[in-house]
Each structure stands twice: as structure tokens, then as C-alpha cells.
Structure 1
Amino acid sequence: MSTSPPAVIRRPQDVVDLVNAHPARRGGPGIALVALGGVMIDAYQAAMVGFGNSYIADEYDISKGAAAAVNATVLVAALVGGLIARPLIERLGQRRAFVLGMGLCAFAAAAVAFAPNIWIVLLCRVVMGVGLGIDFPLATSAVVELSGSRSSSSGRSVNLWQMGWYISTTVVYLVLLPLNQLTTVESDLWRYGIFVGAGLAVLVMVGRWFLIGESALWAARRQRWDETVRILRDRYGVHATVAPDAEGAAPGGQAPKVRGAYRVMFDRTYRRRTVLGCVVATMQAWQYNAVGIYLPVTLGGVLSGGLAGSLGGSALVNAAFGITGGLLGSLWVRRFGARRLSMAGFAVVAVCLLVLGALGSGAPWLALFLLGLIIFGHAAGPGGLGMTIATLSYPPSIRPAGVGFARAIMRTGAIAGLVLWPMLWDGLGTEAFFWLALVPGIGLLTCLLIRWEPVGQPVDDEDADVLRRITAVERVTV
């Protein structure tokens, strides 16, 4: 047992410094993926409804565009959920907010699997979207806290969400393949698949409750010092004691409320960081929701083999290119930085889209390889890095707000890809790839113009100053 004197805590910044200097004893990629479990549920459900879009349209007698619009309501609701995430997290804490976000997802997924009409589907997608919007800022903030923002593994751990995304989408097709053999009603496959996703959401919720727990930084900001000391001891192996003159330690002391996070995010210090994170996140979401979500549909247009062939091809592309790209991106981000890696990924996607547009459907196996290369460039590059940039650009007191805002803005790109791509594909066929190439082009240009690199930056050192500013804003506005 260590004989060193206990650390003395007087303010939340002391806890931030201790957490940064002592990564969690029980951490690593496994715990990071548990924390990022909501992202994997998001990926699973997105891929499942992308697969079921045409079946939903036929069953409820609506157009494919209308079905895509209904499915896209999850993204609109997630936008709202992302914007309300910070005040909810501040009120509930990490542990209970995790349960709220994933509980909404599990309930809505189970309900949509039995939806008798399109209006129930719409309502369930809205509920699911709010849950997902709340969950993501929690997940990435938890990963940073567990690994320590100064740790060399911090950016790598956050960016693991992209590998988790492709693991989850691969699982979708691996679930659908046996279900396709077991059922005689092909149009019900999407219902079975979504119901399986509800069960997976419950497993994520339980795993987080026992393996992740409460945030030491949240407890410190709320001046719950006894709880803070316990978390530091149990999770980080840090023996700490609270000074008699610590903030809020006196009898009758009250935890300060904080407001004004969004105002700080757009001041002189953080404006460029906010714009870069939001643009990278939005453009990657647009390109992915056009190609990745509708991958079985796209493959059906360039390959033969029916439903089993498109599902098998989708599983192969996601496993061989998506999971590999996500893993390599997590390993490369520390070496090359989030901005440069995003630029490289956007460039690969843009070139492949232009070549696909020129090829048409005349070279199906080359088209399959190029689609895989798009998934690889996306996964290794901007696919995860928009959120990594947002997570590592802000100190803990405004990190949930920054991630929630970037995730909310990102949903506009996802909506554009989800709704517009079926229309472009139906109208233009493979020539639609030319138009889609504009999206990674915008992302690449933004990375060239804004030279902010968040990986390795000591942004948590800014927390005390930011916390004073957002607390002062609250006193003025009350």
C-alpha cells in the first residue's frame, strides 16, 4: 500500500488534474467500447432501418422517400437530444443519464418492432433519437475521463467509437443472414432485427451501470466531495482528502449551477475548434448515410445474387474495410493528428466516388472494391474524428455541451444523406456518385483552412477558467 500523503482537494480543477494524471485502473479498449455502447446501438439501428426502408414503404403504402423521411426523424430528435444533453447530465449525473438515454433507445426499439402503423414507427423513432442524442456526449466524455485527456491513449480511445460502429453494422448483416434463412416472410426481417437491437441496448445499459459508474468530475462540479473521494479511490487508486476550506465544503454550501456553455464555445478561444469539429462531423455523416447506411441497396445495383448476396457483400465490406479502418484510424490518430487524418480520409472518399461515377455498373467487382475503399477511408479518417475533435477540444465543464452540439449539427448531414441519397440513386443511378463527391470535398477544404489540432493539447487545464466564466454567466442571468 502506498505511503505517500493523500492528495488535497479544494476545487473541481484539483479533481480534473488527479484524473488526468491517473487513468482508471480498469480501463483499456474493452471498457472504452462498453462506454461507447450507445454508439454501437445507434449504428445497429441505423443500418437496420436503412435495410428495412423499402419494406417499410411497401408495408405502409408510402413512397421510399417518405419512409426515409420517417426514419430520418430519429436524426432530428437526436439533434434535440444532443442540445439538451448537457443540462440533463448536470442534473442527473453520468450514471443515471446513461440509463435514461439507453433506456429510451431500448423501449423505442422494442415498440417499433411491433408498430401497427407508420405513425407509431414515427413516434418510436423520435423517442429513440432523443435517447441517442443524450447518450453520445456522455459516452465520449466518459472515455476521456477514464483514459485521462493527457494520456497518449485518449484520442485513440475516443476514436474507437468508429471501429465499434462498424463492428455493430457488421453484426446487423450477420443477424439478418440467418434470419433470412429462418423466416418465410422477407418483409418482416427488419422487425426481427430491430427487436434484437432492443435486447442489445438493455445489455449495454446493464454493463455501463456496473462497469462505468458515476463521473468523478461531475461529482466534483456538484461539490459532492465524499462521493468524489470514493470514486477517486475505487476507480483511479488515488487516496484523496477534502480540505476544510474546499468550495462548498462549509455547512450549508450549495453547488453552483452553470450556464452559458454554448456562449463560451463560440468565443474567440473556442470558435475555430467548434466550427472544425462540426463541419468534419457533418460532412462525414452525410457521406456515410448516403453510402454506408444504404450499402445493401447500392450493392444490389452493382452486384448480382439477390438479398443474400447484398447482405453477404455488406457484411464483407463492413468487416474487411470498416472495422479495419476504424482500428487503424484509432492507432494512427496519435501519430498523424485528427485534422490531417480527416483530410486524408476525405480525399480517399472523394476520389473513389468520382471513379465510381465514371465506372457506372460496368465493373461490379471493381465497384465493390471502391465501395470498400470508401468505407475504409471514412472509418480511418473523418468517420470518427469529427467527434474526436469535438471531445478533445473542450475542457470537462463544457465537453458534454461541445460534443452534444457537434453531434446535433452532425445530424443535419446524416438527414441529408439518409433522405436525399435514395432520391438521387433512383433518379441518376451511379451518376449520383459525382454529386456526392462534393461532400468530402467541403470537409477537405475546411480542414485545410482551420489549422487546429486537438490531439495532445492540455485543454483540461482550461477547465477552472471556463467553469468560473459559465458560473458567472449564471449569476448574471438569474
Structure 2
Amino acid sequence: MSVYQNSAKKKIRGIDDIIQFIDSQPNIAGKAGIIWWLALGGLFLDAFSNSALSAGLNPMTRDLQLSATEIALLTSFSSWVAIVFNPVGGWIADRWGRVTPLILAKMSAVVGALLVTFSPDFSIIITGRFFVGIAYGMDFAVAMAMLAEFTPARLKSRLNTWQGVWYVAVCLNLVLALLFYSWHVGDTIWRYSIAVTALCGIIILLLQMRYLVESPVWLARKSRLAEAINALQKIYGDRFSLAPTAEQIPVTGEARKGIKNVLLIFRGVYLPRTILASVVQICQSIQYFGVGWYLPVISASLFGKNFVYATLGSLFFNIFGVIGGFLSPLIGRRLGLRRSSAIGFAIAFLVLLTLGMYSDTMPLWASLTVPALFILFHSGGPGANGKSLSSLSFRSELRAGANGIVGALGAIGAALGLFIFPLFREQYGLQTTFLIMSVVPLVASIVCFVITWDPTRTTIQPDNEPGAPQFGNNTDSSLTPGVQETARGTK
């Protein structure tokens, strides 16, 4: 039966019909749900890979007799690599689709984990972390874009779910570390944690190869409407037909200049959005990777050098990350992404100030409560929002590229946090380091209060709003309604 003739099927004339269908879905279920959670599974792997190194950092330091400089290089190296591969992954995804870079990222993650697990010396570990950086950089830029394109408009705050998934991975790593410790493997415990990362990577790779389907929104935005319908049928069933050529609505204002598309996010109405998303992403990365990532080390400083006590303390803190992460969609829906980021940063500033002034004299209950509050308000606010802001503020063929640029800036923040924390801690002590780090959330909170853009609090469409820069055949920034992407910035 011809796809042109079946009147019982939904007739697809252009990208708006696809977006309207996705937005009409009551939830993210069936094959779409599988794809959605598999995209999150890649982010789980990124978190699992990073936290495996974090959980075993103290034993690794003793096992390899690492200096503070080597620790700083080891922990931050993958973030430096991600600075390059965030935009590379975004560019690949905007040019050739979402699925290919996601699969490549898993392959790279598995290679990196295996190299680190079986590494005989520090140089091989660094090589392995290079491949981990490739995976980390590519995955976040692409997965968040894909999640945005499979999420109905009214559920767009669910993108923040990735933050809860991140902390689940962290907590699972800490539990596994306690299990491996009970095996009496000594200071080689870090190899076991990273070996599990390789196993998880292989499982997620196989599942993504089997079940991922290209984003219909991206295909339609690239004027590949027949392929978009094919993707819709794979995901939602045989419910669609291609409208006759005379009824099809062409894409207007499509960005066709390849890597030059990146310049669009620094122009017109996109500029403040880019600034806001970048500041949130950079500063949350610095405060998490400069404080939260080192919680096992901080726990050891607060509760003693015993591995079990330090790990249990870190697990206690990170459970609040799970709570905050899975509450962040609700918080984002109630307060908006911008306000929740501003409030979260403000509380993080107060917490770091408190730790910097009183951490050595606090009673036990305060030593548990104060860092837990830091993780809770970080994960419930800015920790999730940087990536969500960039994923929801740009149209489809710019989204992954924008995520790549913002993600690269965030990777700079992560690298700085990972690199400077051990050096500052060695030179100035833990309390002074907390005081220095408190400047970061203070500045970020001010920026979030000043810039008023919030994709969850606007009905403006990114493609046809005044001032939205365009590349392509039509350079008029005020484009015809009905041919642009809709859903108030979510598609």
C-alpha cells in the first residue's frame, strides 16, 4: 500500500506535524521510552566511568605512588580531552545524525576502561583516560540533544533526570568499592571498579546498537522527510503517511553552513541564552568536579583515613545527589531552570563558605549535614540545568552543536575543578580551598538572577522570533508561521 494513499494514517507534511505528534504523546513510553532511557544510559556510563576513578583515587594514589601533580593530571585529563570532543561530537550529530556519535562514544569508553584496568604504568592510564574523554565529550553533547527531540513539550523538564541517573552511577560505584574492599584486594581495588565500567560499556553499546533509532525531528529538519517517517514508524508503529509533494511544507531558514552554524548561537536572541547556559555549565562543573567529585577524599579528611568510613561518608553525601537529581525535573517545572539554578548556586556558596570557616570545628552531625546540603541543592538545581538549558534553547540543526560548545566550556570548568582542587588543597589546606571555591557559585548565582531567559517560561519559538539569526536560502529572521519548529524551544 502506498504511503501516499492510506487516509487512516497521520499525514506528515513537514517538521511541524512530527513535533505536534511527539508533543501530543501523554508520556514517553514504548520504543520511544526505550530510546530515551538508552540515551540516558550513555550518560550513566559517563558518570560511572568518572566516579569509578573517584572512588578508588586514594588507593590508586598509594598503589602508584602518585604526586599531587600526577593526581591533578590524571583526574582532569579526560575533561581536557572532552573540551575538544564536545563540539566535535555536536558537529557530527548535527551533520550526520544522533546515533553514529553515540555508538562511537560507547566504543571509545570501553577501550578507555580496558586500557586503564590493565595498565602497567601511569602513561597507559593517561592513554585510557584520553579515550574516556572522547566518550564523555561526545556523549553529553549528543545524548541531551536526542533526549530533547524525543520529549513532549510539557515534559521538557524531564531532561533534568540525567542528574539523578548520574548520582545513581556514583552511588553504585561506591557500593561496589565496598564490595571489592571486602575481597581484600588491597590498593588495587581501583582496577576492579574500572573493570566494571568496561562491562557496563559493552552492555550499553550492544543495547544502543540494537534499539536506537535516528531522531525524526533531526531528519525532518534536514529535509529528509521520508526517512523521518520511516523513523517514526519504527518508534511509534505504522501510523504515518507521507503527504503528496504539493502538500509538503519545506523547511525554511535551515542552517547549511556546516561548522559556521556555531556562530549563530553567539548572535541575536541566542547570545544571552548561550551566556546563561555556558555560565551555569562552567560554574556547576567547577563546583562539582572541584568539590563533589572529591567527596571520598573530603570524607577521609572529615572522618578519618579508614577506607570503609570514608566511602560510607561519601555514599551518604551522594544519596542526596540522587534525591536532588530526581527532584530536579519537578523543581525545574515549579521554579524554572534559571531560578532553580540561581537559588542552587546561592546555597552552594553559603555551604562552601561554612565549610571554609568551620569544617575543622563542626560537630559530627554538621559534618554530615553541610556537605549533604551542597550535593542536594547542586543536583536539584544548577547541576542538571546547564545541559538542559542548552538543549532547550536552540533549534534542531543547531542543538547538538550548541550542546557541544556549551559542553566544551563546561569541560573546561570540570578540568579546572579537577586540576586545581588537589593542588590548592596541598598548598592552602582544605578550608582555604573551600573559601576560594565559594567564589564560583556566588558569581554564577548573580548571572542567573540578571539574565532572564528561561526556555520553560516562554512561548517564543526559537526559529521565528525576531532577531533569531539564520543561515540558508532564507535569511529573513521573521519566518512564516507553521514551517518552523515549535514547542517553545523544545524541538
Same fold by TM (over 0.5)?
yes
Letter of the aligned partner of 1:118 in structure 2? F
The partner residue of 2:156 within 139, 154, 161 is 154
Superposition deviation, residue 72 in structure 1: 1.0
Match of 1:333 in 2: 332
Q: Map 1:34-183 to 2 at 5 A.
A: 34-148=38-152, 150=153, 152-155=154-157, 157-183=158-184
- State the alpha-carbon separation in 1 of the partners of residues 327 and 256 from structure 2: 42
1:13/1:463 contact within 8 Å kept: no
- State the alpha-carbon separation in 2 of the partners of residues 457 and 395 from structure 1: 15
1:82/1:137 contact within 8 Å kept: yes
2:286/2:417 contact within 8 Å kept: yes
Superposition deviation, residue 215 in structure 1: 1.1
C-alpha change, 1:208 and 1:463, in structure 2 (3 Å) is farther
Superposition deviation, residue 57 in structure 1: 4.1
Residues 76-119 of structure 1, C-alpha deviations (whole Å, 9 max, x = no match): 11111111113312444222221111111111111111112222
- State the alpha-carbon separation in 1 of the partners of residues 467 and 234 from structure 2: 28
1:397/1:463 contact within 8 Å kept: no
Superposition deviation, residue 209 in structure 1: 3.3
1:57/1:67 contact within 8 Å kept: yes
What SS does the corresponding residue of 1:462 show, helix, strand or coil?
coil
C-alpha change, 1:7 and 1:228, in structure 2 (3 Å) is same
Superposition deviation, residue 264 in structure 1: 0.8
Letter of the aligned partner of 2:433 in structure 1? A
Q: Gapped runs of 5+ residues in structure 2?
A: 1-5, 476-491
Residues 323-345 of structure 1, C-alpha deviations (whole Å, 9 max, x = no match): 11111112121111001101111
Q: Gapped runs of 5+ residues in structure 1?
A: 250-254
Superposition deviation, residue 178 in structure 1: 0.6
Matched, 1:278 2:281: no
> What is the CA RMSD across the aligned residues, in angstroms?
2.8
Superposition deviation, residue 182 in structure 1: 0.5
Superposition deviation, residue 466 in structure 1: 11
Deviates more, 1:17-26 or 1:168-177: 17-26
Residues 226-245 of structure 1, C-alpha deviations (whole Å, 9 max, x = no match): 33112223324542314325
Superposition deviation, residue 294 in structure 1: 0.8
Superposition deviation, residue 62 in structure 1: 3.8
Match of 2:269 in 1: 269
Match of 2:234 in 1: 234
C-alpha change, 1:116 and 1:334, in structure 2 (3 Å) is same
- State the alpha-carbon separation in 1 of the partners of residues 467 and 16 from structure 2: 11
Match of 2:18 in 1: 15
Residues 340-387 of structure 1, C-alpha deviations (whole Å, 9 max, x = no match): 101111111111111122213222331121011100010111000111
Residues 257-306 of structure 1, C-alpha deviations (whole Å, 9 max, x = no match): 64432111011110000000000111111111122111011011111371
- Structure 1 length normalisation: TM-score? 0.89
Superposition deviation, residue 403 in structure 1: 1.2
C-alpha change, 1:460 and 1:7, in structure 2 (3 Å) is farther
2:115/2:127 contact within 8 Å kept: no
- State the alpha-carbon separation in 2 of the partners of residues 301 and 379 from structure 1: 23
1:78/1:132 contact within 8 Å kept: yes
What SS does the corresponding residue of 2:456 show, helix, strand or coil?
coil
Superposition deviation, residue 131 in structure 1: 1.6
Match of 1:381 in 2: 381
Match of 1:348 in 2: 347
C-alpha change, 1:393 and 1:27, in structure 2 (3 Å) is farther
What SS does the corresponding residue of 1:115 show, helix, strand or coil?
coil
C-alpha change, 1:205 and 1:467, in structure 2 (3 Å) is farther
- State the alpha-carbon separation in 1 of the partners of residues 28 and 117 from structure 2: 38
Q: Map 1:420-431 to 2 at 5 A.
A: 420-426=420-426, 427-431=428-432
What SS does the corresponding residue of 2:108 show, helix, strand or coil?
helix
Structure 1's consecutive aligned runs of 4 or more residues displaced over 6 angstroms after TM superposition are 27-30, 463-468
Q: Map 1:307-456 to 2 at 5 A.
A: 307-319=307-319, 321-362=320-361, 363-426=363-426, 427-456=428-457
- Structure 2 length normalisation: TM-score? 0.87
Match of 2:195 in 1: 195
What SS does the corresponding residue of 1:141 show, helix, strand or coil?
helix
1:8/1:243 contact within 8 Å kept: no
C-alpha change, 1:357 and 1:29, in structure 2 (3 Å) is farther
C-alpha change, 1:235 and 1:184, in structure 2 (3 Å) is closer
Deviates more, 1:86-95 or 1:9-18: 9-18
C-alpha change, 1:55 and 1:17, in structure 2 (3 Å) is same
Match of 2:471 in 1: 470
- State the alpha-carbon separation in 2 of the partners of residues 300 and 288 from structure 1: 18
Deviates more, 1:264-273 or 1:54-63: 54-63
Aligned length: 462
C-alpha change, 1:7 and 1:33, in structure 2 (3 Å) is closer
